[in-house]
């Protein structure tokens, strides 16, 4: 159930982030933060992370994605903030 203060974070993670457990790691962090959404490999080598929930939890996830302690090697993260869209059940790897 979406709350009044909920947001949607869409983050495009650039670097060596496929085949290194990055989506699993992201899913684990997002679930710890109580977020819903998904992490998906893209054909160009990026991982797209979509997370919905309280803004502070989404900001914490973004900090973790940018923090340097991820699997693989993150070169940069491009983030976009928006209103939450349809509710997403759980947090999945795609």
* Residues identified as active-site: 23, 41
Phi-psi region of 65 (alpha: psi -120 to 50; beta: other; left: phi over 0): alpha
3-state secondary structure of 13: strand
Closest to 72 (Cα-Cα) out of 33, 25, 12 = 25
């Amino acid at each position: 159930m979406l709350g009044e203060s909920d947001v949607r974070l869409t983050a495009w993670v650039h670097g060596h982030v496929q085949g290194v457990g990055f989506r699993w790691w992201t899913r684990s962090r997002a679930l710890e933060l109580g977020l819903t959404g998904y992490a998906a490999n893209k054909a160009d080598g990026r991982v797209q992370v979509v997370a919905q929930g309280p803004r502070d939890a989404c900001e914490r996830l973004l900090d973790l994605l940018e923090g340097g302690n991820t699997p693989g090697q993150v070169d940069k993260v491009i983030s976009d903030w928006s209103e939450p869209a349809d509710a997403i059940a759980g947090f999945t790897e795609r």
